[in-house]
């Protein structure tokens, strides 16, 4: 594949929570809303690949139910992905279902997002997720790729032990 067709969001060239776009990844859980889920996020190597790993327990107690690794896509506000077809991400995990969430300039409240679900196999795989496959959640507007604000890797909606690693996130044409 021609790498010039990619625009890297995070190539995992930092051995910390910082991304190659200059922003820092954050672990977020439902405790911000009274839930009791537990999230940990750390930089490591898995099978020789530099990555971030999100792990923890997702609990439905106290109306909870998610943990997330999130990254602001542009230090100046919104990222214009016009001309790109979707998101490419390398993942491995524990054979559980996870989501990629996108937030835009149109998502005004925390429960609004555009979502794509996938299974994180125990071996590394590269996902190419077309923007057209992201489903709006609690928002009526379609995904506006000229106003991407944040990406999240999320374990959500059911009691589970989360263990997902991700590397090399990019926009692809």
Cα separation values, 5 from 72, 83, 140, Å: 22, 10, 31
- Give CA–CA dist 56/129, Å, rounded: 25
* Mean pLDDT, residues 153-166 taken together: 98
Residue 165: in which H helix or E strand, if any? strand 160-172
pLDDT at site 77: 87
CATH for the 3-163 domain, from 3.40.50.300, 2.30.29.30, 3.20.20.60, 2.60.120.430: 2.60.120.430
Break the chain into its structural domains and give their ranges.
Answer: 3-163
What pTM was computed for the model?
A: 0.95
* Mean pLDDT, residues 125-143 taken together: 98
Burial class (CB in 10 A: 0-12, 13-18, 19+), 44: exposed
- Residue 40 token pair: 């940990």
pLDDT at site 24: 98
Q: What percent of the chain has pLDDT over 90?
A: 94
pLDDT at site 116: 98
pLDDT digit string, tens, across residues 86-105 = 999 999 999 999 999 999 99
* Mean pLDDT, residues 158-166 taken together: 98
Q: Are strands 113-120 and 66-72 parallel, antiparallel or unpaired?
A: unpaired
pLDDT digit string, tens, across residues 49-90 = 999 999 999 999 999 999 999 999 998 889 999 999 999 999
Q: What is the pLDDT confidence band of residue 1, given thresholds at 50, 70 and 90?
A: very low
DSSP 8-state symbol, 133: G
pLDDT at site 4: 62
- Residue 19 token pair: 């991304």
pLDDT at site 56: 98
Cα separation values, 100 from 2, 4, 136, Å: 24, 24, 12
Q: What is the pLDDT confidence band of residue 134, given thresholds at 50, 70 and 90?
A: very high
Q: What is the pLDDT confidence band of residue 149, given thresholds at 50, 70 and 90?
A: very high
- Residue 44 token pair: 């490591």
Which residues make Cβ contacts (< 8 Å) with residue 39, sequence separation at least 6? Answer: 27, 28, 29, 54, 55, 56, 67, 68, 69, 162
Quickly list H helices, 35-127. Answer: none
């Amino acid at each position: 594949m021609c790498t010039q067709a990619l625009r890297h969001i995070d190539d995992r060239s930092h051995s910390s929570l910082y991304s190659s776009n200059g922003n820092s990844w954050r672990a977020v859980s439902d405790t911000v809303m009274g839930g009791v889920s537990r999230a940990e996020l750390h930089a490591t190597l898995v099978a020789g690949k530099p990555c971030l790993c999100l792990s923890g327990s997702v609990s439905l107690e106290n109306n909870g139910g998610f943990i997330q690794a999130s990254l602001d896509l542009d230090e100046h506000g919104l990222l214009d992905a016009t001309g790109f077809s979707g998101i490419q991400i390398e993942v491995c995990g524990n054979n559980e279902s996870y989501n990629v969430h996108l937030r835009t300039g149109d998502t005004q409240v925390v429960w609004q997002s555009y979502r794509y679900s996938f299974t994180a196999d125990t071996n590394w795989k590269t996902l190419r997720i077309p923007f057209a496959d992201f489903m709006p959640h609690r928002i009526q507007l379609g995904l506006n790729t000229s106003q991407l604000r944040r990406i999240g890797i999320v374990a959500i909606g059911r009691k589970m032990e989360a263990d997902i690693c991700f590397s090399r996130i990019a926009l692809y044409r």
